[in-house]
Amino acid sequence: EEVQSLLTYGKGAIKMITLAPEVCDAAIINYIQSEGIIVSAGHSDAD
């Protein structure tokens, strides 16, 4: 998975991620939090 790869690459360096909740499902958010990373909500106009 793309998120897992990103977190593995940035292990220890990534402390906080801002995500658009409308384009990201709860499982991904929960996974990121389980890795000890703070998740904040942003917004996107992505289609």
DSSP string, 1-47: -HHHHHHHHTTTT--EEEE-GGGS-HHHHHHHHHTT-EEEE------
**pTM (2 d.p.):** 0.79
Pair 14, 7: CB distance under 8 Å: yes
pLDDT given at position 47: 63
pLDDT digits (tens, 9 = 90+) for 11-46: 889 999 999 888 888 999 999 999 999 999 998 776
Tokens of 1: 């998975």
33 CB contacts (<8 Å, ≥6 apart)? 39
- Does a structural domain hold residue 25? yes
In degrees, to the nearest 5, what angle opens at C-alpha 33 toward C-alphas 30 and 34? Answer: 85
**Count of the separate structural domains present in the chain:** 1
The domain containing residue 28 runs over which residues? 2-41
pLDDT given at position 36: 95
pLDDT given at position 22: 83
- Does a structural domain hold residue 9? yes
- Does a structural domain hold residue 46? no
- Does a structural domain hold residue 47? no
pLDDT given at position 18: 93
